[in-house]
Amino acid sequence: MTKVDFKKTLKHLYSASAKEPVIVEVPTMKFAMVDGAGDPNGSAEFQQAMEVLYPVSFTLKFRLKKSQGFDYVVPPPEGLWWMEGESGFDVGRKDLWRWTLLVMQPEAVTRELFTEAVAQVRAKGNPPGLSRLRFEGYDEGLSAQVLHLGPYAEEVATIEKLHAFVRDCGYGSRGKHHEIYLSDPRRSRPEKMKTILRQPVKKR
């Protein structure tokens, strides 16, 4: 049985250069999502979101492997970040942040399968964040992205580089700041951390 790795089959979406941003077209994709607000550092709400995304995602993985013979690597966690009523995203005002944590799901995952996976996780322990978990499609469309190397706290310069690229290409920013976390902070040195930063764009 061949194991699909979406970081390879969707390489243009799950890899990026740290040197130069690029424009990509992001198709509508399915995600397990949890919404929240505020500073994620030390937040119980944020931690609870992480603690439900992967149990459900792995339950779906094993279900599809058993029932359809389809095996895959569960994709990395991602985050959407924004501020209510603001045109931009101020990295210095964590208290005003709104966020959605998400994990991409294969096309084979249906709403019915997702509901069944949630029920299985609930039966095993019913973790606190499970009631906030939802299954939705997300249509991001035309976007600019770049790779940030280093700790999350040092993303400002890379974000500024990304937005300058967007302006220089004749686009305007729209939608939510998007991050894809390619490194596990528990296992990677801060200077080796890899995070894709993505910004949806629009024609001016």
* Residue 74: pLDDT band with limits 50, 70, 90: very high
Distances (CA, A) of 178 to 83, 133, 155, 156, 196: 13, 19, 12, 14, 8
Q: Is the pLDDT of residue 86 over 80?
A: no
**DSSP secondary-structure letter at 139?**
-
For 16-27+141-204, CATH gives 3.20.80.10
CA distance 149 to 183: 10
* Residue 1: pLDDT band with limits 50, 70, 90: low
* Residue 2: pLDDT band with limits 50, 70, 90: confident
Q: Is the pLDDT of residue 83 over 70?
A: yes
CATH 3.20.80.10 domain position(s) in the chain: 16-27+141-204, 28-138
Cβ neighbours for 50, distance < 8 A, ≥ 6 positions apart: 77, 101
Q: Is the pLDDT of residue 58 over 80?
A: yes
Query: How wide is the angle at C-alpha 39 spanned by C-alphas 188 and 175, nearest 5°?
Result: 90
Q: Is the pLDDT of residue 144 over 90?
A: yes
CA distance 86 to 80: 15
Average pLDDT on 133-154 reads 96
CA-based nearest residue to 103, from 120, 79, 121, 81: 79
- The residue type of 60 is L
CATH superfamily of 28-138: Regulatory factor, effector binding domain (3.20.80.10)
* Structure confidence by residue, pLDDT tens digits, 108-118: 999 999 999 99
Kind and range of the H or E run holding 62: helix 44-68
More confident residue, 16 or 204: 16
Helix (H, G, I), strand (E, B) or coil at 111: helix
* Structure confidence by residue, pLDDT tens digits, 3-40: 999 999 999 999 999 999 999 999 999 999 999 999 88
Percent of the chain with pLDDT over 70: 98
Distances (CA, A) of 21 to 8, 32, 78, 81: 19, 27, 18, 19
Query: How wide is the angle at C-alpha 143 spanned by C-alphas 140 and 149, nearest 5°?
Result: 115
Q: Is the pLDDT of residue 88 over 70?
A: no
Q: Is the pLDDT of residue 187 over 90?
A: no
Helices and strands (DSSP H and E) totals, the chain: 5, 11
pLDDT at 91: 77
Q: Is the pLDDT of residue 87 over 70?
A: no
- State how far Cα 162 lies from the chain centre: 18
